[in-house]
Every structure is written in C-alpha cells, then in structure tokens.
Amino acid sequence: MSQLQVNDLHVDFGGLKAVDGLNFSVGEGEILCLLGPNGAGKSTTLDLICGKTQPTGGSIRFEGTEISQLLEFRRARLGIGRKFQVPSVYKELTVAENLSVARSRRPGMLHALTRFALSDGRAAVPILERIGLEAKANEVAGNLSHGETQWLEIAMLIAQDSRLILMDEPTAGMTVEETGRTAEIFRSLSESHTLIVVEHDMSFVRTVADRIVVMNRGTLLAEGSIEEIETNEDVKSAYLGH
C-alpha cells in the first residue's frame, strides 16, 4: 500500500491554478523525484502535502489518514517533515543541541535543552552517525559548512520522527563532493524513510531516484524511471516549451 496518496489535488491562487488535478502516490521507503519546468507547481505540491498551503480541492492520504484539512503542525506530528531551502537550524546552538530542540515537539527551547541534558543526550549519536556529523556534535551550528548545515536539518527531521521527508532543491549551492555525500545519505535514509525531492540536478536525480514524477501546469505529465522520463516526448516538449 502507498504511504502517501494524492488524488485530484487542486489549489487556486486568485485564479491561477498552481496545482490542477494532480494524482500520484509514493510507497514507503521510496525516493520520488519531482521534476518539471519552472512554475509547474512542484514547490506548491510540497507545500500542500506538509500543510503550509491548504488545497482548494482533492485528497491527500498519509498512511491511510486524510490529512488535506489538517494544520501543518498536526501533519508534522503524524510524521511528515519538510526541509526548506533556507535552513532553520539554531546557529548559536551546537549540532547536538539542535537535534534536541527538534526532538522535543513541545514549544520552548529551554525545556528542550533541559530534557536533552537529562535524558536525550545519547539519542543524538545514532542520528548524527547516519548523517555523518558525529564528529561535529559539539560544534556550534553557525560554524558548519553549507552542506553540513543542510545535513543537520535532515538530521533534525529524523530526530522529530518524520517518516516522510519533503525537500526542495536539497543540493542547491553544494559542492560536487557535498552533492555526492548527500546522494549517499539519501540512499541510506531510504532504508527507513520515504523522500519526495524537488531537484533540478539531473545527475543527482539519476543517482537517487527510485521513480520520477514530472509535473507541468499543475498536473502530472509523466511518471516512471529516469530512462522512461528522458525518452518521453511529452516531457521533452514541455521543457522546450519553456
């Protein structure tokens, strides 16, 4: 059964149909890359899934629950995490402290830090090992490189128990080495997490994607493997048309 099912999804911004009858699904542990020309509705689709934007019609089911009318924080509690292009890490806190803040879903940073000191200290280690930041646990987040900051944000989503992680251009601004490391992290994460990734870097997509969904004008244009997408005539003309 699919972990996420999007059916006939719509959103209308003052007459502009940014998402217009979109259908697709994602299986547990799958890495789905969302492609499409500028303005196709990819970021808006992530906004609709995480609850940043409310749809004007259609259904989104996550692990069998209809979530399309739930507020963003409720969807986060159910296990949907969104990584934005501008990282939301606390630059003055250490890497481990950032994980502690993410782990505590209750508001209030002081509460989170106290909890970390008392009980959560060791919980951060396996997450940091997975993401390759274990040597940086006590480093202040403001000192991390661009790539490390992005990985910390992914670690924070794992720490807050996100099972479905949505990412918008995660490799933007990364060096070739950081992009390669990010691909390794994604492949390892997919053993336990589902990822939906909007990404323009086709060599990265080729490395990580289990399946690709191509959007155009708010709707699904094509879906399949990288080979199927690259030879699809509708996809070629949609990109050329822009």
Ligand X SMILES: Nc1ncnc2c1ncn2[C@@H]1O[C@H](COP(=O)(O)OP(=O)(O)OP(=O)(O)O)[C@@H](O)[C@H]1O
Beta-strand (E) ranges in 71-190? 80-83, 164-168
**Contact assessment for residue 148 and residue 136, using Cβ atoms and an 8 Å cutoff:** yes
Taking CB under 6 A as the criterion, the residue among 4, 18, 189, 197 binding ligand X is: 18
Binding to ligand X in span 155-184, by CB under 6 A: none
CA atoms of 147 and 195, how far apart (whole Å):
18
| CB 221 to ligand X: min, Å | 12
Supply the angle between the helices 146-159 and 95-103 in degrees, to the nearest 10: 30
Helix (H) or strand (E) holding 175: none
In the three-class reduction of DSSP (H, G, I as helix; E, B as strand; rest coil), residue 160 is classed as coil
Sole window of 31-39, 138-146, 174-182, 231-239 interacting with ligand X (rule: CB under 6 A): 31-39
Residue list 86-115, contact with ligand X (CB under 6 A): none
- Rg of the chain's alpha carbons, rounded to an integer? 18
Q: Specify the residue, 19 or 124, whose C-beta has the smaller distance to ligand X.
A: 19
10-18, 99-107, 128-136, 149-157 -> range binding ligand X (CB under 6 A): 10-18
Minimum CB separation from ligand X for residue 75, in Å?
Answer: 18
Q: Which of 141, 160, 132 is nearest to 97 (CA)?
A: 141
Is 44 an interacting residue with respect to ligand X (CB under 6 A)? yes
Q: Between residues 41 and 147, which has the closer beta carbon with respect to ligand X?
A: 41
Opening angle at CA 216, ends 153 and 224, nearest 5: 75
* Cβ closest to ligand X, residue 41 vs residue 58: 41
Q: Minimal distance in Å, beta carbon 52 to ligand X?
A: 9
Residue 177 CA to residue 16 CA, distance in Å, equals: 39
Contact residue for ligand X among 6, 32, 43, 100 (CB under 6 A)? 43
Would you count residue 36 as binding ligand X (CB under 6 A)? Answer: yes
- In the complex, which residues of this chain contact ligand X (CB under 6 A)? 13, 16, 18, 36, 38-44
